[in-house]
A and B are shown apart, each in its own frame.
Chain A
Amino acid sequence: MRKPLEPVQVVKTRRDAALRALVSGVPYIQFLGIEFDRRGDELTAVLPFDDKLIGNPLLPAIHGGVTAAFLEVTAIIELSWSLLWEDMEAGRIDLATLDPLHLPRLPKTIDFTVDYLRSGLPRDAYARARVNRSGRRYASVHVEAWQDNRTRLFAQATGHFLMPPPPGTDD
């Protein structure tokens, strides 16, 4: 017999709580002011413009390091989110204990290559990541970032990540 479908609000509350726990526990994400929009399992990272993100005061333009950091944060959260999703949907994660210190470990960056396509304007920036390969030990993730127009990317990046050990194993 089929399990009865959960009420939509229960599903949304659970997914939002998991995402919040993942994002709010990382001080650096808060420092840059990055937020995540969720539509089903699709995430969009949002970087609201702020004066402290400026790298060239004359233009002004967003600091290249901020762009790199924004893309890297987006890639790591997307990858962690994709790892968390199945366990969360299957009810294998206890939401009551879901705080930053009890989340599954985050993947570690092995390398990250950023392609700067145009200068980052003093506007909000958006980014979406795609996990191209997610193996037991390694993952490859591509990220795209834009500002006013979705088709005019201002930066893109590819990174390789070391997957966290499965729960219950010591590393």
Chain B
Amino acid sequence: MTDPDAKLQLARQFIEAIPHSRALGMRLDALGEGAAEISMPYDLRLVGDPRTGVIHGGAVSALMDTCCGAAVMSHPGSAAGTATIDLRIDYMRAATPGQRIVARAEVYHITRTVAFLRATAHDDDTARPVATATGAFTVERPKGGQV
């Protein structure tokens, strides 16, 4: 791989070209080899409970899914893209209204065809996660090429 800053820059452009990620204001904060961190700002349009102002779980799912996808694509063994096979989210607590939500995902195992992921999401209180996720994603390799 080339210089890490260039890689992050490229991945940022990729994430920002996804219309739904842009609609939610997602920002790629860090990228490793099979790991990613993506965050999104608090937004009144994403509120799920008007009484409390808490963000809807669905928006947290969208963040987790994007972050897991980015982690798969950053893995050296998976270059050509990925799709979600399944994703399970556990909601630990309501995200605090007004705070940014940060998701971190890592590929903890990868085969020729499937990547297994774990992810967590938190707000300003990093000690208590808002949600955790586990998922399986497809591994799509460039046609005819060796990875």
A112 to B90, CA, bound (A): 7
A98-126 vs B: 1/0 string, CB under 8 Å?
A: 00110001101111111110010000000
Contacts of A68 in B (CB 8 A): 58, 61-62, 65, 87, 89
Q: Which residues of A contact B48 (CB under 8 A)?
A: 26-28, 106
Q: Which of B56, B63, B94 has the most CB of A within 10 A?
A: B56
Interface flag for B33 (CB, 8 Å):
no
How many residues of chain A get a CB closer than 8 Å to chain B's CBs? 37
Q: Quick one: which of A64, A72, A113 has the most chain B CB within 10 A?
A: A64
Residues from chain A with Cβ under 8 Å of B99 in the complex? none
Assuming the contacts A25-B50, A69-B59, asked whether A116 and B86 have C-beta atoms less than 8 A apart, the reply is yes
- How many chain B residues touch A (CB < 8 A): the figure is 37
Given contacts A54-B18, A55-B18, A65-B63, contact A72 B58 (CB under 8 A): yes
**Nearest chain-A residue to B56 (Cβ)?**
A28
Q: Does B66 contact A (CB under 8 A)?
A: yes
Per-residue contact bits, chain A 43-76, to B (CB 8 Å; 1 contact, 0 not): 0000000011111110000011110111011000
Partner of B45 from A27, A112, A114 at Cβ < 8 Å: A27
Q: Are A53 and B91 in contact (CB under 8 A)?
A: no
Taking the nearest CB of chain A, how far is it from the CB of B45, in angstroms? 4
**B-chain residues with CB within 8 Å of residue A112 when the two chains form the complex:** 57, 61, 88-89, 91
Pick the contact of B50: A55, A73, A100, A116 (CB < 8 A): A100
Let me know if B4 is at the binding interface, CB within 8 A. no
Binding site for A on B (CB under 8 A): 17-23, 44-51, 55-59, 61-66, 69, 83-91, 94
Question: What are the 5 closest A-B residue pairs judged by CB atoms, nearest first?
Answer: A65-B62, A69-B58, A28-B56, A63-B20, A68-B61
Chain A residues engaging chain B, CB cutoff 8 angstroms: 25-28, 30-32, 51-57, 63-66, 68-70, 72-73, 100-101, 105-106, 108-116, 119
Given contacts A72-B57, A106-B48, 12 further A-B contacts (CB under 8 A): A27-B48, A52-B19, A53-B20, A54-B18, A55-B66, A63-B66, A64-B62, A66-B62, A72-B61, A73-B58, A111-B90, A115-B85
